[in-house]
Amino acid sequence: MTTKPKDAGPTIAALARESFYRLFADEAIPLAGNIAFRTVFSVFPFLIFLTALAGFFGNDNLAEGVVNFLLSVVPARLVEPLVPEIRSILTVPRSGLLSISALITIWSAMGGVDSVRVGLNRAYDIRETRSMWWLYFQNVLFVIGSAVFLLVFALLIVFAPVMIQLAENYAPALKGHFVTIEQLRYPIGITLLTAGVLFCHRVLPAKTLGVLELLPGVVITVVAWVLMSSAFSIYLVNFNTFASTYASLSGVFAAMFFVYLAALVLILGGEVNRVLEVRRIMRMQRFKTADTEV
């Protein structure tokens, strides 16, 4: 009588080794460079589109509110060189440029979204079967949906203090239990980051995967991004070589390099999920084989 094989499970070192091997085998390094370039290239057109869209809905301050919140949770040293340009964009009325900025944003962001899609498809060993027109339409929805979501989030930022004040007026006994946006900015920022990464893994690949299947890679990506942002901020303060190498363009290149590393980590999360999926399939096959031999 044949006994079922024991499932010892892979070690963390083995998972990491296989995931990194797949990362290089899937040519993630040039893909991450493409993502970094197109992301930085599309940031300012996206901000113009965001402010124009906010003006179109009648509230020019919405875009400024959400960008101020996002800047407050990003390491200051990382975005400090870009803040003056970002502020100048947010303070210029651009409601008449809605259509132009939308086209520029979609065009510039399309390459970055496509690169993320290609990277995740390769990570999950998925062949793209969707039509070019559907992918282009998805890119458009991705950009517009992101802008609308940020504006809705800005509305919550604006109305949250008002709701807290009303609650304090009518229920002063509960005042000690209220929390402010300032107190929750980092938990909210990490929640938004996690939701965005999970959304990319769910929507962009050509195969819809379950949330539980995606969580390991998503959590690894978010944790790595948080640790990497702290480490990169310390590096910029104490060991910054970008200023001596790139002079006045050091801020832009530092941001691009960070986005490049972040893109690599994003693809790595997909590789981790695929390694775990393959091992689950192999484990199920071993048990099925053992059952047939009993």
Q: Mean of the pLDDT values across residues 131-155? A: 81
The whole-number pLDDT of residue 2 equals 44
More confident residue, 242 or 123: 123
DSSP assignment, residue 3?
Answer: P
CA distance 130 to 207: 10
Counting every residue written for the chain, the total comes to 294
Over range 4-32, report the average pLDDT.
79
| Confidence band, pLDDT 50/70/90 cuts, at residue 115 | confident
Q: Of 259-268, 270-279, 283-292, where does mean pLDDT reach its minimum? A: 283-292
Range list of β-strands (E), 171-281: none
Query: CA-CA distance, 112 to 34, in Å (whole number)?
Result: 7
For the cut 50, the answer to whether the pLDDT of residue 258 exceeds it is yes
Res. 139: pLDDT tops 50: yes
pLDDT single digits (tens) 160-177: 666 666 666 665 655 555
Give the span between the Cα atoms of 197 and 221, in whole angstroms: 8
Residue 110: pLDDT above 50?
yes
* Cα–Cα distance for residue pair 271/277, rounded to 1 Å: 10
Q: What is residue 66's predicted lDDT score, i.e. its pLDDT?
A: 77
Crossing angle of helices 132-170 and 28-56, rounded to 10°:
60
pLDDT value at residue 148: 81
How far is residue 154's CA from residue 164's CA, in Å, rounded to a whole number?
16
Query: Residue 217's pLDDT is what?
Result: 94
- 230/123: higher pLDDT: 123
Does 4 or 158 have the greater pLDDT score? 158
- pTM confidence score: 0.80
Task: Answer whether 34's CB lies under 8 Å from 115's CB.
Answer: yes
| pLDDT interval class at 234 (50, 70, 90) | confident
